[in-house]
């Protein structure tokens, strides 16, 4: 099983963002996770295209961009142009999900789909063979620092079974409330990619925390 770690810059110190990016560059982390929120699809606003363009200039690892916005299909090329390597959209936000996934891939990015906590795994049935990443939200999206929803473990297990049964090559990514108390269980359940912000950026030694999250006891 793969073990990737994608620190979420939503929890970084934006007054010292260059230092935070360099820390991730020099750590065992694999991706930069970037949450784009519009204040409509989720009840918060984060950052957008200009910030991602600036991050790309310093980042030495792939940018894993998670769009928590309505009508994401309108902005796919813009995110590609500023440096997104992976682009993930919500099942709940896309009227024509297959077309959106296809366009992401045509633009040369890895394509991902996200499920909110209330959305069943069955929503993946017709799209799973076409995506590179399935992102399971283990908190309600919109804010960092929330408590992990325990039923997400069963959801991840169901997703792993579906991937194996269909022959999909999709990675399972999980985001929300992840720390050293649940990292090992998440890997065991079938997760490939852990996304965590607060646990990394509020640690006394973020680089060591990244190491521990990739190698939980």
Catalytic residues: 35, 175
**Calpha distance 54→143 (Å, rounded):** 22
Closest CA relative to residue 11, chosen from 198, 145, 208: 198
**Calpha distance 69→39 (Å, rounded):** 8
79 CB-side CA count, 13 A = 29
Give yes or no for a contact between 156 and 189, defined as CB atoms under 8 angstroms apart: yes
Q: What is the DSSP letter of 92?
A: G
For tokens 């200039």, what's the residue?
57
As a whole number of Å, the CA-based R_g of the chain is: 16
Closest CA relative to residue 135, chosen from 59, 192, 70, 200: 192
């Amino acid at each position: 099983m793969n073990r990737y770690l994608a620190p979420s810059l939503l929890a970084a110190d934006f007054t010292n963002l260059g230092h935070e990016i360099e820390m991730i560059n020099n750590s065992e982390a694999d991706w930069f996770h970037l949450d784009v929120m519009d204040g409509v699809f989720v009840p918060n606003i984060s950052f957008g295209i200009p910030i991602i363009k600036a991050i790309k200039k310093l980042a030495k690892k792939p940018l894993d961009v998670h769009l928590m916005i309505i009508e994401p299909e309108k902005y796919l090329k813009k995110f590609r142009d500023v440096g997104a390597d992976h682009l993930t959209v919500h099942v709940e936000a896309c009227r024509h999900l297959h077309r959106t996934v296809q366009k992401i891939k045509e633009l040369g990015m890895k394509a991902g789909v996200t499920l909110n906590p209330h959305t069943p795994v069955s929503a993946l049935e017709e799209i799973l063979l076409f995506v590179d990443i399935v992102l399971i939200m283990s908190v309600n999206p919109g804010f960092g620092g929330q408590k992990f929803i325990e039923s997400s473990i069963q959801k991840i297990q169901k997703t792993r079974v579906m991937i194996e049964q269909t022959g999909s090559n999709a990675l399972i990514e999980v985001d929300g409330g992840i720390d050293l108390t649940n990292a090992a269980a998440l890997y065991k359940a079938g997760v490939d990619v852990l996304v965590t912000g607060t646990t990394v950026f509020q640690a006394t030694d973020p680089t060591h925390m990244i190491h521990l999250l990739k190698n939980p006891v």
